[in-house]
Amino acid sequence: MSKKTKGFVLWFTGLPSSGKTTISQGVCRVLRNKGLIVKHLDGDVIRRKINKDLSFSKRDRGKNLAIAADLAKSLIKQENIVIASFVSPYQDQRKRIRKKLGNFIEIFVNTPLEICQKRDIKGLYKKAHLGQIKNFTGVSGPYEPPERPEIELKTAQESVKQSVDKVIKYLLNNNYL
């Protein structure tokens, strides 16, 4: 039987290939092993399955994130823990999502651009540098780092396990678990 908890969202933001998905999947595993109900919304999956017609323009990113926020809100109302991993490069869009969802924990996966480019197994940075992808965050599109995230993960200095542990420790210390 799963434990019940008040719903909240862990919103992972950072450059493409910063480690958002890898770390968020690790957090999912830990929480599910504790018997908690966890739903994972991943930017790549949402874009591929629901919003494949959207570009990387600020307007289309806003549409993509609004749909993700609506999904997260409905899951939070059902007392789920929602883990969302989206580049979400604009501060104003993240602020709107925070306001809409309420129980929102912003996690900044702070990884230098050079490391993200080395980790890029999909070749998206290369395509962006060649002009094949317009408005790509970190190349031809901006990334506005969070001003005051609840959690900052520095993946150039922390292992995946250390980053996951840091998130779990925050949740325990702040009575989310």
User: Which residues are identified as catalytic?
Assistant: 88
Which helix (H) or strand (E) covers residue 81, if one does?
strand 81-85
Q: Token pair for residue 137?
A: 């965050």
Q: What are phi and psi of 173, to 5 degrees?
A: -65, -25
Other C-beta atoms lying within 10 Å of the C-beta of residue 139: 20
Place of tokens 């770390």: 23
Asked if 22 and 158 touch (Cβ cutoff 8 Å), the reply is: no
Q: Token pair for residue 166?
A: 């840091």
Place of tokens 């580049």: 87
Q: How far apart are CA 165 and CA 26, in angstroms?
A: 9
Q: How far apart are CA 56 and CA 64, in angstroms?
A: 9
Other C-beta atoms lying within 10 Å of the C-beta of residue 134: 12
